[in-house]
Structure 1
Amino acid sequence: MPRNGAYWLSEYAGRIVEFLCIKCERAGAASADDLLAEFGDQSMPNLRYHLASRFGCTRGPNAPINETCKLSYAGAGTVMLKEEPKADDDRTIGELAEYNTIFAQCSACKRRKPVSRWEIQRRYGKDVTMGALAKAMRCKCGKKGASLYLGNMSR
């Protein structure tokens, strides 16, 4: 039974914890008892950052929203999450929630501006992916390509 809204590592004592990351494209498994000895009793959402650091992943809890850790857990042959999350570059504009806002940042001059996702969806359709959109953007400085970040509209 979850405590404080999350499962804890101590609830898996004596079992093998399987994990995979779709961003790093790596997977692994470890004994829950060994993980308890190494990291102590932690919630499973917090433990994922420690497991990801084993891969050399630097995506921590304070990373930008499109660079967050995508490590998930598997158990008994089934994934504990309801559906496997997509990489951010594979998400389409139509899959975003209505309250999401897209920000583009130029890699050369670091200029950051909001992007009208509704205008993009009207022009190119809702099936354009975030990765394709990031590659096609051009800054006023002349540099092609941008980093896209998702944010939430204020209420």
Structure 2
Amino acid sequence: MKHRRSIELAPPDSHAVEIEKETLSTLPRWYIIHARCRRCRHETSIDRQEIARRYGDDLSLAKLARRLKCQGCGNRSDNVLLLQKLPRD
């Protein structure tokens, strides 16, 4: 979106990930997957190779988010899937 003076108001959406369409196989390798519990705030990284081995590469990130279970308190509802982009040269 551009301002009337041609100033870019928002950065291009080149880093956005559509969680419903993106799968483990289509997610670029420079993204790290984390999970956070909304109840106890426990956060951990997810080994994407292990998840792909267990459930297949075609598992969408939305389905993965629904399968999350907190290792701290056992909460299964309303957990959050986070993506971190590693810096690239």
Deviations 1:11-42 (CA, angstroms, capped at 9, x unpaired): xxxxxxxxxxxxxxxxxxxxxxxx51xxx331
Q: State the distance in 1 between where 2:69 and 2:23 align.
A: 19
Structure 1 ranges of 4+ moved more than 6 A: none
User: 5+ unaligned residues in a row in structure 2: which ranges?
Assistant: none
Any residues of structure 2 matched to 1:121-136 within 5 Å, and which? 121-136=52-67
Unaligned runs of 5+ in 1: 1-7, 10-34, 48-60, 62-68, 71-80
Which residue is 2:26 aligned to? 95
Same amino acid, percent of matched pairs: 27
Once the two structures are TM-superposed, the CA of residue 101 in structure 1 deviates from its matched residue by 1.0
TM-score, normalised with respect to structure 2? 0.76
Higher strand share: 1
- Deviation, 1:153, is 4.6
Could you tell me the TM-score, scaled by structure 1's length? Answer: 0.46
Bigger Rg over Cα:
1
Which structure carries more helix by proportion? 1
Give the aligned CA root-mean-square deviation in angstroms.
2.9
